[in-house]
Amino acid sequence: MMAARAFRELRILIPFAAAIALWWGIKDGIGVSNTLLASPAQVWTAFVYLATHGVLAEYAATSLQMIGVAAAISFALGVPLGFAVGTNRYAARALEGTLRFLQGISGIAWLPLAILWCGFTHTTTLIVVIYTLIVPIVFNTMTGVRAIPENYVLALRSLGASRLRIVVDVYFPGALPSIVVGLRLGMGYGWRALIAAEMLVRQGGLGDLIFGARTFNQIDRIMVGMIAIGILYIVVDRLLVQPIESMTLARWGVLRR
Amino acid sequence: MASDKISVSGFRHFFPTEDGPVQATGTIDLAIREGEFVTLVGPSGCGKTTLLKAIAGFIAPSEGTILCDGKPVKGPGRERGVVFQELAILPWRTVRRNIAHGLEIAGASKAVRESTVARLVDLMGLAGFEDRYPHELSGGMRQRVAVARTWAADPEIILMDEPFAAVDAMTRLTLQEELGRLCATTGKTVFFITHSVDEAVFLADRVLVMTKRPGTIKAVLEVPRHGSGGRDWDSFTADPEMRNISEQVMHLVHAERGAR
């Protein structure tokens, strides 16, 4: 039982092992120059150096802190906005086009303007990441609210519920599974936007780390940074966002019938 | 007519559509006395739900006035409880918390909530299911919860929109008897919509028959009660007087279906 479980957990690592083997084969088999590609061994050495000197931890901590703050602000602003739009049929119709338009302009496209407004600061990065994160949260909150059967609301109104009460007792729990999906999507988009913004803003973070390494042709460090970006995203998603999602779905999954 | 619990006069409703307004009902006048159980039977699409929604205060009538206790209806209120056909109890609340919801909103104490839930759980045969979620219950059980939730909030008027239509036929008979008993012991004023003739006659003090869309009330039949307490299906089906009323209602309803 335990062994079978452990094997299932380890199975997800097989493609990674294959990719590393392929990478190693290309590097040593063809003999690609060190100015184009570092070998897994070189990357490992760079990783050990960056990890033991606290460099990786510092840059990663900046990125994680930024995504955390951006997610909290986006949630706090996006959910009420989604409720406001979702409960008002006219607002929903009017804003649907606007939201789609804004979805077309990626967060990174706001970077020139944000830099002019706020300079090369964390605020600029936050503006870009929050913008990216908040759209899927608003959109999914709105969709979640609109999927709630009207009878839930009517029944509560005839039990004497106030508007606030309906938000707390019906809209929030009813839309929660959808809100969490929005948060999860937003975290994915937001993480990518964050790395890109960090490369231009250069105030710390993993994007800064890999862009800085480029200046000195430190290919091994660039690759350490890229791998860290991927791994941290999996960690945030699997350990933080996915548990919230399955928790709400397990209890309320039947909601959509 | 000051003693009427519900009084509808000159009611007519139109729904706006892109091709202009569509008439949902004809002109309807109606009065329901305190403690009376009135059923309304009519073909689907005749506007019965529209009328119920207007009395509940969910929609504002295009024409006419609706009074409850002599006061015009301006919106939903806790003195008018509503039981819907389906999909109205909250899936993320247990049976207990669904039933107590109205009392919770009214700010009742924990002791009051608990004793009310216990009483209704007992009356509606929900004992042992208090801590279950709706998706763990059968359709019939869910409707019992919906009925219990409305009764727990203790409204003076109860509006029911085909509450048993989505329940299987066997369970429906039980639920109808239970509802009859519940009303007999609590003395609520009930306005009940259905498309089932038997159900309409079985439950009612008075049956209203509606024409097809745009519906008006074409007939009113009194259904006398013998003795106190709700009716039961065994004696109901054996009673020639009841059978006679059912047949009359059936003819009235059938005429509307034939005309289509």
pLDDT digit string, tens, across residues A148-198: 999 999 999 999 999 999 999 999 999 988 998 899 999 999 999 999 999
pLDDT at B2: 46
CA distances from B189 to B34, B35, B69, B141, B206 (A): 5, 4, 12, 23, 12
Q: Which two tokens stand for residue B161?
A: 């929109």
CB-nearest to B92 from A151, A160, A173 is: A173
- Report chain B's C-alpha Rg in angstroms: 18
CB contact residues (below 8 A), chain A span 170-199, against chain B? 170, 173-174
Assess whether pLDDT exceeds 90 at residue A127. Answer: yes
Cα–chain center distance at B175: 13
Q: Can you tell me which residue has the tokens 């006659």?
A: B201
pLDDT at B87: 75
CB-nearest to A252 from B76, B91, B146 is: B91
CB contact residues (below 8 A), chain A span 130-159, against chain B? 149, 151-152, 154-159
pLDDT at B184: 86
Peptide bond preceding B214 in cis form (omega within 30 of 0): yes
Assess whether pLDDT exceeds 90 at residue A133. Answer: yes
pLDDT tens for A208-225 read 999 999 999 999 999 999
Assess whether pLDDT exceeds 60 at residue A252. Answer: no
**Are B105 and A174 an interchain contact pair (Cβ–Cβ within 8 Å)?**
no
Q: Which two tokens stand for residue B259?
A: 């005309």
pLDDT at B258: 58
pLDDT at A254: 45
Q: What is the DSSP string of chain B?
A: -TTEEEEEEEEE-EE--TTS-EE-B--EEEEEETT-EEEEE--TTSSHHHHHHHHHTSS--SEEEEEETTEE--S--TTEEEE-SSS-S-TTS-HHHHHTHHHHHHT--HHHHHHHHHHHHHHTT-TT-TT--GGGS-HHHHHHHHHHHHHHT--SEEEEESTTTTS-HHHHHHHHHHHHHHHHHH--EEEEEES-HHHHHHH-SEEEEEPSSSB-EEEEEE----SSS---HHHHHH-HHHHHHHHHHHHHHHHHHHT-
Using an 8 Å Cβ cutoff, are B37 and B183 in contact?
yes
Question: Using CA atoms, how far apart are residues A137 and B183, in angstroms rounded to an integer?
Answer: 47
- What are all long-range contacts of A95-103, with beta carbons under 8 Å and residues at least 24 apart? A99/A135, A99/A138, A99/A139, A102/A135, A103/A135, A103/A139
Assess whether pLDDT exceeds 70 at residue A83. Answer: yes
Write out chain B residues lying below 8 Å of A177, CB-based. Answer: none
Question: Among all residues of chain B, which has the CA nearest to that of A165?
Answer: B105
Question: Using CA atoms, how far apart are residues A197 and A192, in angstroms rounded to an integer?
Answer: 9
CA distances from B212 to A198, B95, B216, B254 (A): 68, 38, 8, 11
**Are A154 and B92 an interchain contact pair (Cβ–Cβ within 8 Å)?**
no
Write out chain B residues lying below 8 Å of A174, CB-based. Answer: 90, 92
Question: Among all residues of chain B, which has the CA nearest to that of A157?
Answer: B76
Question: Using CA atoms, how far apart are residues B166 and B143, in angstroms rounded to an integer?
Answer: 9
Establish if A164 touches chain B: CB-CB under 8 angstroms. no
pLDDT tens for B159-192 read 999 999 888 888 899 999 989 988 888 889 999 9
Write out chain A residues lying below 8 Å of B86, CB-based. Answer: 151
**Are A160 and B56 an interchain contact pair (Cβ–Cβ within 8 Å)?**
no
CB-nearest to A159 from B84, B135, B153 is: B153
pLDDT at A251: 61
Q: Can you tell me which residue has the tokens 């009330």?
A: B217
pLDDT tens for B210-245 read 998 888 999 999 999 877 778 899 889 889 999 999
Using an 8 Å Cβ cutoff, are A233 and A60 in contact?
no
Q: What is the mean pLDDT of chain B?
A: 90
Q: What is the mean pLDDT of chain A?
A: 89
For residue A85, the distance in angstroms to the closest alpha carbon of chain B comes to 21
Assess whether pLDDT exceeds 60 at residue A256. Answer: no
**Residue % of chain B over a pLDDT of 70:** 98
Q: Is the dihedral of CA A45, A46, A50, A56 positive or negative?
A: negative
Assess whether pLDDT exceeds 60 at residue A249. Answer: yes
Q: pLDDT band at B202, cuts 50/70/90? A: very high
For residue A121, the distance in angstroms to the closest alpha carbon of chain B comes to 44
Question: Using CA atoms, how far apart are residues A193 and A74, in angstroms rounded to an integer?
Answer: 14
Residue type, A186: G
pLDDT at B226: 79
Write out chain A residues lying below 8 Å of B133, CB-based. Answer: 251, 254
Write out chain A residues lying below 8 Å of B91, CB-based. Answer: 252, 254-255
Q: pLDDT band at A102, cuts 50/70/90? A: confident
pLDDT at B119: 92
pLDDT tens for B14-53 read 998 888 888 999 999 999 999 999 999 988 888 899 999 9
Question: Among all residues of chain A, which has the CA nearest to that of B159?
Answer: A158
- Weakest-pLDDT range from A247-251, B60-64, B135-139: A247-251
Q: Which residues of B touch A (CB under 8 A)?
A: 56-58, 75-78, 80-82, 84, 86-92, 101-102, 105-106, 133-135, 146, 149, 153, 155
Q: What is the pLDDT averaged over residues B44-66?
A: 92
Q: What is the pLDDT averaged over residues A108-125?
A: 95
SS3 A250: helix
Question: Using CA atoms, how far apart are residues B175 and B139, in angstroms rounded to an integer?
Answer: 11
Q: Which two tokens stand for residue A65?
A: 């802190």
Q: Within a 10 A sphere around the Cβ of B72, how many other Cβ atoms?
A: 9
pLDDT tens for B82-130 read 999 877 899 999 999 999 999 999 999 999 999 999 999 998 889 999 9
Entry pTM: 0.82
pLDDT at A165: 93
**Are B101 and A169 an interchain contact pair (Cβ–Cβ within 8 Å)?**
yes
pLDDT at A257: 37
Write out chain B residues lying below 8 Å of A151, CB-based. Answer: 84, 86-88
**Residue % of chain B over a pLDDT of 90:** 67
Higher local confidence (pLDDT), B128 or A95: B128
**Are B82 and A158 an interchain contact pair (Cβ–Cβ within 8 Å)?**
yes
DSSP bridge pairs for B160? B83, B192
Distance, first Cα to last Cα, chain A: 34
Q: Which two tokens stand for residue B192?
A: 């009940």
Interacting residues of B146 by C-beta distance below 8 A, sequence separation 6+: A155, B83, B84, B88, B89, B163
Q: Within a 10 A sphere around the Cβ of B206, how many other Cβ atoms?
A: 16
Using an 8 Å Cβ cutoff, are A129 and A197 in contact?
yes
Residue type, B243: R
Q: How would you write B134-158 as a 3-class SS string?
A: HHHCCHHHHHHHHHHHHHHCCCCEE
Q: pLDDT band at A45, cuts 50/70/90? A: very high
Write out chain B residues lying below 8 Å of A161, CB-based. Answer: 105
